[in-house]
Structure 1
Amino acid sequence: MRLMKLTMYTDYSLRVLIYLGSKPEGKLTTIQEISDAYHISKNHLMKVTFELGKAGFIQTVRGRGGGIRLADLPQNINVGTVVRRMEDDFHLVECFDREHNRCPITPVCGLRGVLGKALHAYLAILDEYTLEDLLFNREGLREILHT
């Protein structure tokens, strides 16, 4: 179980957005470029970029000279929204999953309320930030990522 930990899928999603945000506005990038920069499997990134496109965070341009780019300005892409969209669940403990909960103390346990409050605070903090906030050092990112 992962407690307050993002999946690799969400981590890669945020990294893709950071990479694209470090590029000059509107410039197309290939999945291969991102794969090379982060040393991440191109196959993993294809799945991630597909979902990011479905969610409206990136645009895909097909054909010769195609690629991907941000679908909106970095200041309009909310980190909390991205995390909620890309994470598969937020069941910190068994009782958060009503369908599969078998814990016998659920009706009288205070843990669920405490962890629910912690999860709410965690997401509220992420909601305070946009992709623009993560790009405060674009020059450093461009240097490291070779964008």
Structure 2
Amino acid sequence: MRVTKRTNIAFRVLMFCGVHADRLVTKAEIAERCNTSESHLAQVINRLAQLGYLHTQRGRAGGIMLARPMAEIDVGGVFRHLEAQAPLAECFADVDNTCPLVSACRLRDAMAGAAEAFYGHLDRMTLDDLICENVALADILNPPRCAKRA
């Protein structure tokens, strides 16, 4: 199973917002610290806001923040919301499925079970589990401090 770039970026955004839960963050900050373009971020942020994971505020003093507590954002749910459109294999697609084995294929059922196990494992984790006491993550997502000049 391969995670799409959109989902990968979405988790960077959610983790960044979680580390900075005490304030609004900007798209530019996220782009810089998470090594992604602002144009990709805009699409992902819009989708996460539509799904109720982010609150966005426009304007000069605007920004982005989590729309709910980190303990209420389950990782599996986010994956399901973002990956639902991407079929696991051709035989899972509603359109463009040309596989002649679909009616007799046991591999499809095996893959469906494996995907459900994958999501089931992620369902037991929250954004809080990814961030809480993760000092290394906080170090990466916080901008470097300037040294004081004498």
TM-score normalised over the length of structure 2: 0.88
Alignment of 1:78 onto 2:74: yes
Q: Per-residue deviation at 1:93?
A: 2.1
- Give the % identical residues: 37
Q: Quote the residue 2:57 is aligned against.
A: 61
Q: Per-residue deviation at 1:17?
A: 0.2
Alignment of 1:16 onto 2:13: yes
C-alpha change, 1:90 and 1:62, in structure 2 (3 Å) is closer
Higher relative contact order (Cα pairs below 8 Å, separated by 6+ residues): 1
Q: Per-residue deviation at 1:125?
A: 0.9
2: distance between equivalents of 1:39 and 1:107?
44
Q: Which amino acid aligns with 1:46?
A: A
2: distance between equivalents of 1:56 and 1:104?
40
TM-score normalised over the length of structure 1: 0.90
1: distance between equivalents of 2:122 and 2:31?
25
> 1:15-54, aligned counterparts within 5 Å?
15-23=12-20, 25-54=21-50
Unaligned 5+ segments in structure 2 are: 144-150
What secondary structure sits across from 2:56 in the alignment? Answer: strand
Find 1:91's aligned residue among 83, 87, 91: 87
Q: 1:26, 1:70 within 8 Å by CA — same for their partners in 2?
A: no
Unaligned 5+ segments in structure 1 are: none
Q: Give the aligned length.
A: 143
Q: Which consecutive segments of 4 or more residues in structure 1 shift more than 3 A?
A: none
